[in-house]
Amino acid sequence: VPIEFVRVGDEKGSAQCPVLLKPNFKIQECLHGANEASSARVAQHRILNKRIFSAWKRFKLSAVSCFAYVEALGLFFLTKIIRDSAGISRPVPNPKEFGIRASNIENLGPSIQATVVDGTATGLTYDQMVLTAKSVLTAMSLTKEFSPLVLLVGHAGSTVNNPHAAGLDCGACGGNSGEANARVVASILNHPGVRTRLKNHDIEIPEDTWFLGGLHNTTTDEVKIFDLAHIPKT
């Protein structure tokens, strides 16, 4: 799905499509299950943390202060060096989770709802959802005999300090993680109205079929499945 995915607190997003294409839709990351005020606080908290981190980084790398910084605080980083080398911690913050409280990370995800954020249209209209759903299912030849659970898995690598990191992520997603694309498609295909309209295109998804977005970490070979709490009890 050719989308521009904008994370919470960011002004611009990543083009989640091959480099020869332009994103058709802008998708905003949001805090699921939260009201507008709570989502705004999460965004402001992340923006503030990014500004502090940026200022601290400029101080550490400044030609004037960098030597004094290392002389004064160098030994205090011995524990961090050991933890980073052993793989217990990351040498740099995870860009996806940086500035977000741990309690909110699991509730973050793309929103397909058509709305306006800072004067820019985001999400997909009803017609766009139907056309996208038809295109995706037809391209995968998944138009009948649906399982009760259908897992759509994107992929990405997880390395740090690696100039070739983008080459380990999803090429079809423009060298980015395929998480957003998989979760957007799953949200569209779970929409009751979209399923009703798909019947006009000879695609009938059973009521007891549910789509899930996932991410395969090709560095660690782990697979994470998102939005498990939303699976219907049936």
pLDDT, position 190: 96
Residue in 194, 66, 177, 216 with CA at minimum distance from that of residue 136: 194
Residue in 4, 216, 228 with CA at minimum distance from that of residue 110: 4
pLDDT, position 195: 95
pLDDT, position 225: 95
Q: What is the mean pLDDT of residues 44-66?
A: 85
Q: What is the mean pLDDT of residues 174-199?
A: 94
What are the contacts of 170-175 at 24+ separation with CB within 8 A? 171/18, 172/17, 172/18, 173/16, 173/17, 174/14, 174/15, 174/16, 174/17, 174/18, 174/19, 175/19
pTM of the full structure: 0.84
Contact, 206 vs 143, CB < 8 A? Answer: no
Q: How confident is the model at residue 30 (pLDDT cuts 50, 70, 90)?
A: confident
> Exposed (0-12), middle (13-18) or buried (19+): which is 89, by Cβ within 10 Å?
exposed
Q: What percent of the chain has pLDDT over 90?
A: 39
pLDDT in tens, 81-140: 898 888 788 887 777 777 888 777 888 889 898 887 777 788 899 999 999 999 999 999
* DSSP string covering 92-156: S--TTTTTS-HHHHTTEEEE-B-EEETTEEESB-HHHHHHHHHHHHHHTT-SSS--SEEEEEEEE
User: Cα–Cα distance between 49 and 56 in angstroms, integer?
Assistant: 11
User: Cα–Cα distance between 91 and 79 in angstroms, integer?
Assistant: 12
| 43 against 155, higher pLDDT | 155
- Range among 12-26, 39-53, 177-191 rated most confident: 177-191
pLDDT over 70 at 35, yes or no: no
User: Cα–Cα distance between 167 and 141 in angstroms, integer?
Assistant: 28
pLDDT in tens, 126-139: 999 999 999 999 99
